[in-house]
Amino acid sequence: MAEAKYSQNGRGQIRVAFVGNPNCGKTTLFNAVTGSKLKVANWPGVTVEKKEGYAQYEDCDLTIVDTPGIYSLTCYTIEEKVTRQCVMDDEIDAIVNVVDASSLERNLYLTLQLLELGKPVVLALNMMDIVEERGMEIDLHRLPEMLGGIPVVSVSAAKRTGLGILLHAVVHHYEEGPAGNILTYGEELEAKIAKLEVMMQARFPLHSSVRWHAIKLLEYDEDVRREHPIDVTNVVDRSYEKDIIQAKYRYIETIVKEVLFHKEKKAAFTDKIDRMLTHPVWGVPIFLLIMCCVFFLTFTVGDFLKAGFEVALSFLSDEASALLTAMRCAPWLISLVVDGIIAGVGGILTFIPNIVILFFALALLEDSGYMSRVAYVMDGIMGKAGLSGKAFLPMVLGFGCTVPAIMATRALETERDRRKTMLITPFMSCSARLPIYVLFSEMFFPSHPSAAAFSMYAIGMIVAIVVALAIHGYEKGKINDSLLIELPEYKRPNGRTIGIYVWTKLKDYLEKAGTTIFIASIIIWFVLNFGIHGMVADPSDSFGAAIGRGLVPLLAPAGLGMWQIAVALISGISAKEVVVSSFAVLFGVVNANSQSGMQTIISHINAQNPGFGAVNAYALMVFCLLYVPCAATIATVRKESGSWRFTAKMAVFQLLLAWAAAVVVYQIGSRLF
């Protein structure tokens, strides 16, 4: 019997882990239970992020840990290792097993494994509404009986119902202690388990989950064998893993037979949609069409909405300037605030509508269940490049932001595939590059701005796939056709989940504007307004101009031979939006993303370089698309690959590729047009 730990103020404290299959609504439930008390923590020593949050129930403080979704407690993937390590940890007092009730049979497999751990387990039955919609029924009385009397609570993560009952069950079941053993493996195996249990207890008397470890020894589990070096060869003559898995599934079949009624009356909805979306011929065109729609919405609707932001920004700029003048501030301070900070940061903020729409669309695709279909649809093309269709998922995420996309490569099976995917993911044009396209396509392609911007996304995708194909050809690798991914049921996207997703991304964007871009803008302002003789009146005498001029000969073959462009591109490494900020600061434009701002930039560029036209602008966009990713991405690649060598090679490769592509665009383009 376990006793609640009491803190100094007399309140019980329980650490609860949320564990479940991928796509069972675990994170939605986690968000619903912990509400606003969410704290995202990077755990030390592990590579995959786990989230921690807090909830209260009566006189108990619950710390809730959200773990990566897993199918079983083996240790074949990073996610499994992390989750297993987390639930085995003595710090975890109780487990909430989140179960997708609409695929009970598969989900119960993990449940049976969790029960063997000997920790208190509470079953949270999620997605009961889908069960009802399908005309199925689950016997909520018989199910707990078959699982050894553990509490079974039906919850709806999306509608936020059953949450109080769930916490109540956790607190009380924790006080009661774990349920007994429910599944026996037949005489032969049980005899072996009993022997192993005795051996385990002799060597590790303080061990909490003896039976689970005994079973794992019988399964030849590598980690358990390494951590418990007992000689068991006389008991374990071979791996009994298959027998144990089959015994579990046999038991699950009896459970399902007893508790689930009217099976599969109408699971047809998902299948009907899938016949179109995963069609052998139309699957790829439909995916491309969907992405077209996403970007179309991002550009056109986003541009439509940004007018309001522009008005607000010019108002702010005028007011700030007037206020600072009235306060008799030094001209350099006024210049810093108005030409440096407001121009650099404010200009970036006018792109918020575009960013929000882009992330909203990506969230819809993720939450509806379409993303894993993309892996299936693109599997053939990716397979030829030696990658599984799964590698395409991080790439799609890369349209949003490259940093989480690089982290998402963890889902790939081998290190080799991961590195290859990390190398090509930055070519998928992220939202930070969007302001550059919007600005330059509207300035230089006034009749077809959306088409010019959209072509960047297409070029990025093509370059990514061509590079993967080239590496694959160079390595003479085999076709990869080992796709294995679950396709979840389609569901109505949950407003709250999408809201949280978009809000976190927007917050990241604002934070970036407030930190990286803010600092970068100040530095750019300084570099452009100061020279060796102090503050300069003409930027071409500044430090920035001196640095930029050094690079002009290199950029000239790409039609980008202007020191201003060199400065903008260098500063863009801090964050890609800064390319736009730099142009604003360079040419003293308060809002680059407005008609007058664009006119000023164009006239400045033309004053410097009368020949600068659409072809030069396109070469610049291509260069921005492909060149070294932002500092945050470089840091993430370093962390995820664990190698500076790889990271440096990647950056150099991308820089050379960007330069070569821009030169080709300019040289061919300027001869044609």
Partner 1 sequence: MTLYDGRIGADYEVRGVYVEEAVTRRLQALGINDGTTVKILNRKRKGAMIIQVRGTRLALGRHISSCIEVKEEA
Reading the block at residue 287, the tokens are 């995916």
CA distance 462 to 672: 22
Contact pick of 44, 180, 186, 280 for partner 1 (by CB under 8 A):
280
CA distance 517 to 343: 11
Buried residues in 565-596 as b, exposed as e (16+ CB within 10 A): bbbbbbbbbbbbbbbbbbbbbbbbbbbbbbee
Report angle CA 288, 294, 298 to the nearest 5 degrees: 145
Q: Which of residues 470-509 bind partner 1 (CB under 8 A)?
A: 480-489
- Nearest CB to partner 1, comparing residues 263 and 638: 263
Distances (CA, A) of 671 to 606, 615, 666: 20, 10, 8
Task: Give the shortest CB-162-to-partner 1 separation in angstroms.
Answer: 22
- Nearest CB to partner 1, comparing residues 23 and 521: 23
Query: What number of chain residues touch partner 1 (CB under 8 A)?
Result: 43
Residue 265 makes contact with partner 1 by CB under 8 A = no
Q: What would the x/- binding string for partner 1 be over residues 138 to 157, using CB under 8 A? A: --------------------
Buried residues in 46-63 as b, exposed as e (16+ CB within 10 A): eebebbbbebebeebbbb
Three-state DSSP class for residue 56: strand
Residue 109 makes contact with partner 1 by CB under 8 A = yes
Buried residues in 146-162 as b, exposed as e (16+ CB within 10 A): bbeebbbbbbbbbeeeb
Q: Which of residues 338-377 bind partner 1 (CB under 8 A)?
A: 372, 375-376
Residue pointed to by tokens 């893993």: 241
Q: Which stretch binds partner 1 (CB under 8 A): 105-113, 204-212, 494-502, 535-543?
A: 105-113
Task: Give the shortest CB-372-to-partner 1 separation in angstroms.
Answer: 7
Phi and psi of 186, rounded to 5°? 90, 160
Task: Give the shortest CB-97-to-partner 1 separation in angstroms.
Answer: 15
Reading the block at residue 530, the tokens are 């100061």
Work out the burial of residue 22: count CB atoms within 10 Å of its CB; fewer than 13 is exposed, 13-18 middle, 19 or more buried. middle
Residue 85 makes contact with partner 1 by CB under 8 A = no
Residue 132 makes contact with partner 1 by CB under 8 A = no
Q: Which of 70, 78, 77, 79 is nearest to 19 (CA)?
A: 70
- Nearest CB to partner 1, comparing residues 104 and 200: 104
Residue 76 makes contact with partner 1 by CB under 8 A = yes
Q: Which residues pair with 264 in a beta bridge?
A: none
Contact pick of 133, 241, 508, 541 for partner 1 (by CB under 8 A):
241
Task: Give the shortest CB-515-to-partner 1 separation in angstroms.
Answer: 41
Residue 104 makes contact with partner 1 by CB under 8 A = yes
Contact pick of 18, 57, 71, 174 for partner 1 (by CB under 8 A):
71
- Nearest CB to partner 1, comparing residues 414 and 643: 414
Residue 102 makes contact with partner 1 by CB under 8 A = yes
Q: Which of residues 376-405 bind partner 1 (CB under 8 A)?
A: 376, 379-380, 383, 388-389
CA distance 296 to 71: 38
Contact pick of 52, 54, 85, 106 for partner 1 (by CB under 8 A):
106
Three-state DSSP class for residue 198: helix
Q: Which stretch binds partner 1 (CB under 8 A): 169-177, 237-245, 502-510, 530-538?
A: 237-245
- Which conformational region is residue 669 in: left (phi greater than 0), alpha (psi within -120 to 50 degrees), or beta? alpha
- Nearest CB to partner 1, comparing residues 204 and 269: 269
Reading the block at residue 194, the tokens are 């009993």
Residue 426 makes contact with partner 1 by CB under 8 A = no
141 CB neighbour count, 10 Å cutoff? 9
Task: Give the shortest CB-71-to-partner 1 separation in angstroms.
Answer: 5
Residues that bind partner 1 (CB under 8 A): 71-72, 74, 76, 102-106, 109, 241-242, 245-246, 249, 263-264, 267, 270-271, 274-275, 278-280, 372, 375-376, 379-380, 383, 388-389, 480-489
